[in-house]
Amino acid sequence: MIWRVIPLTVNKASVNMAVDSAILDEVSAGRSPPTLRLYRWKPSAVSVGYFQSVNDEVNIEACREMGVDVVRRITGGGAVYHSYEGEITYSVIIPEDYEGMPKDIISSYELICGGIIKALNWLGLKAEFKPVNDITVEGKKISGNAQTRRKGVILQHGTILLDLNIKEMFNFLKVSKEKISDKLIKSVEERVTSITSITGVKPDFAKISQLLIKGFSESLKFNYTFNGLTPIEEKLTREYDEKQFSNREWVFRR
């Protein structure tokens, strides 16, 4: 089967999440092929996991003051700050019975994350999969990933850190000012990294996107065509955006 690749796009947080849900529905219905999409977040945003409390995890006042979006994902995991200048996010949306896809969750994470690992290796970085769902370089996390399975479809999305500003990140996540110390920042720097941190050069978004597309296609063994959303997916995206991901009841449901 020929996959669809949706090249790097830029959307607000609620639209990014709505697009994933719209594609998931259409892949489930058999009207859309397996899909890889790459995207950025503008404005920058905080996404919280499905089971998290926004009030516990997010500095809502700081987000409001700085124009940072807050959105709830349909996947689990922790709160993530998505910097417009600092990351590329991907989504892989495929049928659960896709040929060669393990039923085991960790094995499926490892297979899909293989695309990111290949891309990072081509940049000269020795990347490794770290269960359950992280990718590390030199022992430090450079990519976090989350997965859900519904309607017979796997949706896995995750981030690749191109650059990292820890102080900025802590401004929007719920960390007390007393805790935002040089010691804490140093602790995070010892556990998390970015392409820029390692190479000293901020990479080009277009180049990283091309490497990711090539990496995923080799790891998951697919050929592809570039395409956008179908008219049905565009309609579903608008509906999901309005009724769910932009809806305060959804965002603050926990």
Residue showing tokens 């090539």: 214
Least Cα distance to 157 among 224, 233, 80, 104 occurs for 80
| CA-angle at 238, arms to 250 and 243, nearest 5° | 25
- For the chain, the domain total comes to 1
Measure the CA–CA gap between 192 and 174, rounded to whole angstroms: 18
Say if residue 178's pLDDT is above 80: no
Q: Which residues contact 120 (CB under 8 A, 6 or more apart)?
A: 127, 135, 137, 142, 160, 195
Please write the tens of the pLDDT for every residue from 53-86: 999 999 999 999 999 999 999 999 999 999 999 9
Please write the tens of the pLDDT for every residue from 90-119: 999 999 999 999 999 999 999 999 999 999
Q: Which domain holds residue 65?
A: 3-251
Strand partners, 10: 40
CATH number of residue 170's parent domain: 3.30.930.10
Q: At what angle do helices 205-219 and 105-122 cross, to 10 degrees?
A: 130
Given a contact cutoff of 8 angstroms between Cβ atoms, the answer to whether 1 and 34 are in contact is yes
